[in-house]
Amino acid sequence: MGRGHVLILAALALGAATPVLFAQGRGGGGGGGGPIIGPPPPNAARLYSENCLQCHGPEGDAVADVDLGHGQFRRAKTDAEVERIILHGIDNTGMPPHNFTEPEALSVVNYLRSMADRNASTKGNASHGESIFMGAGNCTTCHRVNGKGSRVGPDLSEIGRLRHSNEIEQSIVDPDAQILPSNRYVRLVTKDGATIAGRLLNHDTFSVQVIDMKEQLVSMPTANLREFTFIDKSQMPSYKGKLSTQDLTDLVSYLVSLKGGPQ
Ligand code: HEC
Ligand code: HEC
């Protein structure tokens, strides 16, 4: 809210706006642009996904006999012990040490604690969830799973490998809360006044490609554009109050089960 990014592409022609464009994609590596004042507060979800997810998985249960998402650990009773494991690793096992600051380590401990509360919501009926997804929920009017559905919204075939159940649930009931940089939508206004809204696939100094709301690929030279605006509001309707608690739980369980690959 209130953070509309408007880029006038006319400025691109002057070669001035490229760093601004890159600065939009948070965490997308790249430029950085403006000065950073002080260290940013640790982002626990991101620390987890960048350092732990590859072994422990989005639900914390991917290592055999280890379940990080249930608030109980075999090797640690207190938060301080969990923190020590994260910082120093566990000798002679696959658990490596991590070069975190104290606040970072603590925020990851809290993140593991909060996973425990959320994992309650993954106990639904995934096959009922699938029928909601493919049917009454109308999800396939925008989303695609394993080749079925639309390309207007992001493909969800691997969503269970990428996102925690809690984040998936939040996407459904509060789509504006967090939008991944890869899922950003833009509004383009051409010099002759036509407006195109769509999911941004690619952009560089010379051209922009989007998938528009009719699933058409639109490729446009930037020279033809008057305006290029990131849309911060999600194009996805909120399902808050539109699904029963059980249906929501079932739907989340279905999405959590989507890990990509043949199945
Ligand atoms: C390279 C793979 C790998 C990475 C990366 C990794 N872990 Fe582990 N972790 C393991 C393995 C394997 C174990 C099981 C060790 C054992 O007890 O045999 C483990 C054990 C643990 C335990 C102890 C669990 C218990 O029940 O006592 C905690 C806590 C833990 N990891 C947290 C983390 C966190 C948090 C991160 C990220 C900051 C992380 N791990 C990154 C592989 C990994
Ligand atoms: C009118 C189009 C539309 C419909 C209908 C729709 N979505 Fe979405 N959805 C989107 C768009 C656009 C995004 C990407 C922007 C965002 O994250 O909000 C998205 C994002 C998501 C995400 C997050 C994806 C990610 O990569 O993190 C999930 C999960 C999701 N939708 C699930 C659903 C489910 C389940 C339904 C049906 C109950 C549904 N959507 C219906 C358009 C739609």
CATH number reported for the structural domain that contains residue 195 in this entry? 2.30.30.100
Looking only at the bridges linking them, the beta strands covering 207-212 and 195-203 are antiparallel
Instruction: Indicate whether 137 and 221 sit together in one domain.
Output: no
Domain span at residue 207?
Answer: 5-26+180-231
> Among 86, 104, 122, which residue terminates a domain?
122
* Ligand 2 pocket residue status of 235, Cβ below 6 Å: yes
Mutational pocket test of ligand 1: of 67, 73, 78, 95, the residue with most ligand atoms within 8 Å of the beta carbon: 95
Answer yes or no: are the C-beta atoms of 154 and 200 closer than 8 Å.
no
Give the span between the Cα atoms of 219 and 127, in whole angstroms. Answer: 38
Q: Which residue is listed with tokens 């991917």?
A: 62
Instruction: Indicate whether 56 and 118 sit together in one domain.
Output: yes
In a domain, 262, yes or no: no
Instruction: Indicate whether 59 and 85 sit together in one domain.
Output: yes
* Ligand 2 pocket residue status of 115, Cβ below 6 Å: no
Give the span between the Cα atoms of 9 and 17, in whole angstroms. Answer: 8
Mutational pocket test of ligand 1: of 46, 63, 115, the residue with most ligand atoms within 8 Å of the beta carbon: 63
Answer yes or no: are the C-beta atoms of 138 and 153 closer than 8 Å.
no
Q: Supply the pLDDT for residue 176.
A: 86
In a domain, 37, yes or no: no
Instruction: Indicate whether 113 and 130 sit together in one domain.
Output: no
Going from the Cα of 215 to the center of ligand 2, the distance in angstroms, rounded, reads 15
Which residue has the CA at smallest separation from atom 30 of ligand 1?
A: 86
Going from the Cα of 138 to the center of ligand 2, the distance in angstroms, rounded, reads 10
Residues with Cβ within 8 Å of 75's Cβ and at least 6 positions away in sequence, in order, are 81, 85, 90
Q: Supply the pLDDT for residue 13.
A: 34
Q: Supply the pLDDT for residue 263.
A: 43
Tokens of 19: 């760093």
Answer yes or no: are the C-beta atoms of 26 and 245 closer than 8 Å.
no
Task: Say whether pTM exceeds 0.85.
Answer: no
DSSP tally for the chain: helices H, then strands E: 10, 8
Instruction: Indicate whether 141 and 216 sit together in one domain.
Output: no
176-185 pLDDT per residue, tens? 887 777 788 9
Q: Which residue is listed with tokens 């399902």?
A: 239
Instruction: Indicate whether 202 and 251 sit together in one domain.
Output: no
- CB-based pocket (< 6 A), ligand 1: 51-52, 54-56, 63, 66, 68, 73-76, 82, 85-86, 90, 93-96, 98, 108
Which residue has the CA at smallest separation from atom 39 of ligand 1?
A: 52
208-234 pLDDT per residue, tens? 999 998 889 999 999 999 999 988 888
Angle between the N-to-C axes of helices 102-118 and 79-88, in degrees from 0 to 180, rounded to the nearest 10: 120
Angle between the N-to-C axes of helices 165-173 and 102-118, in degrees from 0 to 180, rounded to the nearest 10: 70
Going from the Cα of 223 to the center of ligand 2, the distance in angstroms, rounded, reads 32
Per-residue pLDDT of the chain (263 residues; tens, 9 = 90+): 334 344 333 333 333 333 333 333 333 333 334 444 555 567 888 899 899 999 998 888 888 888 888 777 889 988 899 999 999 999 999 999 999 999 999 999 988 887 776 655 567 899 999 999 999 999 999 999 999 999 889 999 999 888 888 889 989 999 888 777 778 899 999 999 999 999 998 888 899 999 998 889 999 999 999 999 988 888 889 999 999 999 999 999 999 889 876 54
